[in-house]
Structure 1
Amino acid sequence: MAVTDFDQWQARVDAVWQDRALSADERIARIDALATELGDDHPVSLFERAGARDSAGRESEAEPLYRRAIERGLDDRRRARATIQLASTLRNLGETDDALALLDAERQRSGAELRDELAAFTALTLASAGDPVRAVSVALTALAPHLTFYTRSVMGYAAELASD
């Protein structure tokens, strides 16, 4: 079946994600069924299939799907999400250097979406890589602009941690 209304299709995918009664295997099966409506090589279909496997703890199955989705071309927001999710998958697989490189490249893209989310996963990856001080610096730098008070102080402390 061909998708004629992408927004309606996405709403059905979102409903699967929101259904907490589904097991991981049921979620994968439903996402896969919806993904076939777009086609096996459609970047959004690949992204959703990867996410279903990733959330089920099947990182090794998710990784190539994320990579293909990114290669096939996603809009800026989905590309940022796919990069974050791929980096998280790589972190869970112990490939922290690759994860950090992906996150850094996405952060440096012009107009990169989801900057705070990128920072959060960079901090997690740095902690997993054995660099907790730098992880705290990244997290504080992302958090500081959202503070009611002490933004300048927290930014200063974050910079100090990064320089040590």
Structure 2
Amino acid sequence: MTIDEWERRIAEFWTAFEASPGDGEDIVDKLDALAAASPASDGRAHFERACIRDSTGRTADAVACYEAGFAAGLDPIRHTRAHVQMASSQRALGYTDEALEILSRADPHALGGAPSAVRALALRDAGRHDEALRVALEALIPHLPRYQRSMANYARLLTEG
């Protein structure tokens, strides 16, 4: 199988999963079989294994797969996604500091602001509510048709008092 064929099969897997999500071992086994067939030597198969584990509530197992993906190397898109998803997993497992540390290495504007959304949730979980609101507002500001300067000032004042 070529890498293009493998990527197509992975995309088809996720399309089918999104249309009819499952959470049983069979769906994890199906993705694992696809991952094992990857002709790539980088971390993309580990990343896909992590994603299905996150998607089926096996969050702790997902973290180990993300770590393996980082160690083997990821393309820029998967690398960014892995930061966001692993941080979200760490947050869900109660490791807020780890989540924030992971997010410190991610572009806050990537993936439509997803790193900022997860960061805001992690800050909220850490009891840092004003910082969480500031991060959420700052992620929203570029999408506002007006009031950008005002909102930026209000956001800044949340933590600079």
Same fold flag (TM > 0.5): yes
State the distance in 2 between where 1:139 and 1:147 align.
13
State the distance in 1 between where 2:159 and 2:4 align.
43
SS of 1:24's equivalent in the other structure is coil
Equivalent residue pairs, number = 158
State the distance in 2 between where 1:85 and 1:22 align.
18
* Cross-structure match for 1:85: 85
Counterparts of residues 140-151 of structure 1 (less than 5 Å): 140-151=137-148
Paired residues of 1:96 and 1:129 also in contact (CA < 8 A): yes
Q: Report the CA distance between 1:22 and its aligned residue.
A: 4.3
Aligned-residue Cα RMSD (Å) equals 2.0
Deviations 1:105-126 (A, max 9, x none): 2238xxx843711111111111
* Cross-structure match for 1:152: 149
State the distance in 2 between where 1:135 and 1:80 align.
21
* Cross-structure match for 2:60: 60
Paired residues of 2:87 and 2:99 also in contact (CA < 8 A): yes
Paired residues of 2:84 and 2:103 also in contact (CA < 8 A): yes
State the distance in 1 between where 2:141 and 2:160 align.
17
* Cross-structure match for 1:21: 20
Task: Give the partner amino acid of 2:152.
Answer: M
Counterparts of residues 33-112 of structure 1 (less than 5 Å): 33-38=33-38, 42-107=42-107
State the distance in 1 between where 2:52 and 2:41 align.
16
Deviations 1:37-70 (A, max 9, x none): 1169740000000010011111111111001101
Q: Report the CA distance between 1:35 and its aligned residue.
A: 0.3
Structure 1 residue ranges without an equivalent (≥5): none
State, as a whole percentage, how many aligned pairs show the same letter.
37
TM-score (structure 2 length as normaliser): 0.89
Structure 2 residue ranges without an equivalent (≥5): none
Paired residues of 2:42 and 2:74 also in contact (CA < 8 A): no
Deviations 1:55-96 (A, max 9, x none): 111111111100110121111111010011000000011000
